Structure 1
């Protein structure tokens, strides 16, 4: 039997979804979904960014990209023995471990592995210094192979070259955080051991519904399985870890719906690690909604949704690959009459800071022009976060404090955190698309998603197509109208 090799990409995937690793090895490849245009765009942009990085490094890079697997490994070992200072697209292997690090840097008499990423090397703001788990285990894998081959200095150090061409050190022997003292290296070893157990079938994995599923090539297959077994992760906000904590007692949604939660509650704790009494009660209530054929959404507590002569529904679109917020869309309604609606689009004419600033100024002046005479609705904190970043980049438009002050206004309403958080719905998640579709709204586009809109924007930048531009605007307008549909639906549920 051929030895099953463990690659860096398997470590990367295992952090997001260990079941994907198992599916990739054991499931019929014919059941995979085709990659979406968005994914294909990401791959293309990733390669283009990688090639730009190598071009910036000059002639001192040994480029092995075009070689076949066997020759690539031979040439990599030769280059290491000859102390070539920088190796691109090499291949290293020891036992069942194989890695293809983007870069191998010679530091003194040893090599350090590096990977090129088109995004940030940090998880969240750079100031936090928090590393990305999936990046950490991937470069730790390469570092482990280097150590086993005696090509490393043993310091367990690696590098991420991020989208800004900056080297981000990954100190893998350091703890993951102030509270989590487990080191990145220990996380890697735990993940590696779990993958080995998956591959030798001494451990099994289960599918789980999560935000990571959207672009996975097993999405439809896993969705079928999850619904067949009535998996607990079909409950909104109940993830893999909490599912696993309850699985022995509640193997499916129906069993949780039928239980008496009091039997599992003792004071401020429950029988399930990481799940408190209120959370258990919440999950059970959602399970009941999913098992009742005619279940209806309801409010858990009273919420005021006052009428306003002018209502504005707000949504933005951005391209994280280019780091630009290119569209601020508003649907304005007067007197509660849908027939009065008009769409206002503040769109950057090109992917440049100057055009981004113009679009931001137009959007800022539009909202400030109401001077509190309108109620403005948006969904989630994303708009506020994006506008604060824009204010930091373009202080001539407004300050960060100005943005904070705006979003603290009583007439600025985050429907997700201010209202939907106080409701329960017979659905699997609380995305605006899921809730609006439940209420009967339909997007004009056959493939409406934020990811798809990024791919459309890339098309528009490259081609200047008026048709693609209009597709983006239609999608954003529909997102704004979906927010209006949700507001009207919430008012109806509340009995207005």
Structure 2
């Protein structure tokens, strides 16, 4: 069994994913998404760019990382020769080598917790494998001579995530065992080419316990429970498989508001399913998770059970001003490329309620350097409708307006006037209505009220892939896919706004009528 740094990285994010990578049926995996493939290409490009920018004069093993045993031998030989930099090298250790240096205490404690005995035959098959981006020579003492190596990992992320720190510590420990001395530091180079140094005093100990947990899970074949986390699971190839299991079990993670921490609290109360959440009294639930959360979860379950939307119990139907409306309204949505930090499409649907017409206008940067041009076009266009409210879904649109305004020196008065017209429907939804859905994304809500996108495979991530492919191929059909998807985002926002306005008004009228009848 190979316990790789890639498996450990996934374990830190989702232990079930690591388990499935070893024991799952490959036929149950989803096809790899275009966006994930794009990220992998960009990560490799980022590594090459960093190496070039820093003029690393590297050596590398003659064989690829697919042949990890021979690659490890050649990597160690390069370390023995004392080359300045090693690229695409690998490190590997048997379980016996790992245990001999670290001792058995952590592993034995974990095995005792699980009351399992692992045969020496199984242990003899376990190998730990690390693949740091670079190994850099520095002065010091090691079994190779008056030098030692430190690991550098080059990552596409903008911040030093815990899983990056875990792997950095794992690489340092592996390197320490092989060269006879643990490096004093381990380094990350992130998206902006900025350096981050890992506190190994903290992370080496933390890493050893995480590795032991992962080790026990894999050798004992302890399959972790399903938990659907919308953001974390979205790019995982096992999402479809896990989601089917969660649906069949009526798993609580499918209920909006049930976070991993709240799920632990619910489990302590013996609440492990939707049915058991329905049965528990709200007061008892509130004692564990807080009364506001308990009320929210109870309403969410009631909405799902009845398959109908409910007014949130904390929302003041009578005294809250209704959603703004106008004779002309604008519905706004953005498509952005995070790698290039470019907003390449600003889409606006103009709805003229007096004339009963609607028209979609798109400000599209056919190349990233056109971003400033489409920003000005957008400003000029919205200025044509100075009294029109601008509806959008999420804070991203507001944040983007602020970013573009700063970047292109837009007068503060212009930005302030523009933002004063923005109406975030996501905020309206979350404060006023409980929907019978598993997610409060625009797509989930719009689908529930009957709106469907023309591009069935369309998504924000897919739009980014289409734009990336457009830049490479200049195939205008890709631009048409982007425009179609963005237009439907705008139309879905309009559909949601109209539904919300009608629903809240009808509920308000019903409440007023009920109140008046009770007074009589």
Q: TM-score range by the shorter chain?
A: 0.7 to 0.9
* Aligned residue in 2 for 1:30: 27
1:450 paired with 2:469, answer no
8 A Cα contact 1:313 1:378, kept in partner: yes
Shift of 1:328: 0.7
**Shift of residue 402, structure 1, vs aligned partner:** 5.7
2:163 paired with 1:134: yes
Instruction: Answer whether contact 2:363 2:374 (CA < 8 A) is retained.
Output: yes
2:154 equivalent to 1:116:
yes
Aligned partner of residue 366 in structure 1, secondary structure = helix
> What is the CA–CA distance in structure 2 between the aligned matches of 1:258 and 1:405, rounded to whole Å?
50
Judge conservation of contact 1:315–1:479 (CA < 8 Å) in 2: yes
8 Å CA contact 1:448, 1:475 repeated in 2: yes
Residues of 2 paired with 1:475 and 1:264: CA distance? 42
The 3 A distance-change label for structure 1 pair 141 and 406 is: farther
Q: Which residue number corresponds to residue 400 of structure 2? A: 386
Does residue 251 in structure 1 map to residue 272 in structure 2?
Answer: yes
Displacement after TM superposition at 1:60 (Å) = 1.4
Question: Structure 1 residues 74 and 345 mapped into 2: Cα distance closer, same or farther (>3 Å)?
Answer: same
SS in 2 for 1:459: helix
| CA 1:398–1:470: 2 relative to 1, 3 Å | farther
What is the CA–CA distance in structure 2 between the aligned matches of 1:38 and 1:468, rounded to whole Å? 15
User: Which residue of structure 2 lines up, in the alignment, with residue 102 of structure 1?
Assistant: 133
Correspondences of 1:168-179 after superposition (within 5 Å): 168-173=195-200
| Partner Cα separation in structure 2 for residue 151 and residue 89 of structure 1 | 21
1:478 has 2:488 as partner: yes
Is 2:302 aligned against 1:288? Answer: yes
CA distance in 1, matches of 2:343, 2:481: 17
Q: What is the CA-CA distance between 1:393 and the residue it aligns to? A: 2.4
Does 2:173 correspond to 1:144?
A: yes
1:58 to partner: Cα distance: 4.4
**Distance of 1:7 and 1:381 partners within structure 2:** 38
Q: 2:328 aligned with 1:307, yes or no?
A: no
Q: Distance between the aligned counterparts of 2:326 and 2:368, measured in 1?
A: 36
**Corresponding residue number in structure 2 for 1:54:** 51
1:262-295 Cα distance to aligned partner (Å, 9 max, x none) = 1244xxxx23xxx322112211221222233x43
Hey, what does 1:322 align to over in structure 2? 340
Instruction: Identify unmatched segments of 5+ residues in structure 1.
Output: 123-130, 175-182
Corresponding residue number in structure 1 for 2:362: 345
Indicate the residue corresponding to 1:5 in structure 2: 2
Task: Sort the Cα spacing of 1:61 and 1:239 in 2 relative to 1 into closer, same or farther, 3 A.
Answer: same
Paired residue for 1:200, among 202, 216, 219? 219
Equivalent residue in structure 1 for 2:191, among 150, 160, 163: 163
CA contact (8 A) 2:337 2:344 kept: yes
Report the Cα distance in structure 2 between the residues aligned to 1:350 and 1:263, rounded to whole angstroms.
57
Say which of 360, 363, 367 aligns to 2:382: 367
Cα distance in 1 for residues equivalent to 2:52 and 2:496? 49
| SS of aligned partner of 2:150 | strand
Q: Whole-Å Cα distance in 2 between the matches of residues 467 and 82 of structure 1?
A: 54
- Return the alpha-carbon distance in structure 2 between the equivalents of residues 187 and 284 of structure 1: 38
Q: CA deviation at 1:65?
A: 7.4
Tell me how far apart the structure 2 counterparts of residues 348 and 367 of structure 1 sit (CA, whole Å): 18
Partner of 1:494: 504
The range that moved more, 63-72 or 249-258, is 63-72
Larger Rg: 2
Q: CA deviation at 1:86?
A: 1.0
Q: TM (normalized to structure 2)?
A: 0.82
The structural deviation recorded for 1:336 is 6.6
Partner of 2:149, secondary structure, is: strand
The 10-residue stretch of structure 1 (342-351 or 381-390) with the greater mean CA deviation from structure 2: 381-390
Q: What does the per-residue CA deviation read over 1:413-457, in whole Å, with 9 as the maximum and x for residues that have no partner?
A: 111124433210100010000000111111110212101001000
Q: CA deviation at 1:64?
A: 3.1
Shift, 1:82, TM fit: 2.1
Give CA deviations for 1:318-345 in whole Å, capped at 9, x if unaligned.
11122211111110101276x5111111
Equivalence for 2:449: 439
The farther-off stretch of 68-77 and 141-150 is 141-150
Q: Which runs of 5+ in 2 are unaligned?
A: 96-126, 141-147, 507-520
1:143–1:152 CA contact under 8 A, matched in 2: no
Q: C-alpha distance in 2, partners of 1:118/1:471?
A: 27
- How many residue pairs match? The answer is 458
Q: Kindly indicate whether the alpha-carbon contact (under 8 Å) linking 1:12 and 1:138 is maintained by their aligned counterparts in 2.
A: yes
The one-character-per-residue Cα deviations of 1:31-81 (angstroms, maximum 9, x if unpaired) are 111112222222223223333333445471113375232221011111122
RMSD (Å), alpha carbons? 2.3
CA deviation vs aligned residue, 1:82-127 (integer Å, no higher than 9, x gap): 222111111112334210111111232332212222342x1xxxxx
Task: Return the alpha-carbon distance in structure 2 between the equivalents of residues 402 and 159 of structure 1.
Answer: 44
From 410, 413, 423, give the equivalent of 2:433: 423
* Distance change (3 Å), C-alpha of 1:194 and 1:78: same
Offset at residue 22 of structure 1 (A): 1.3
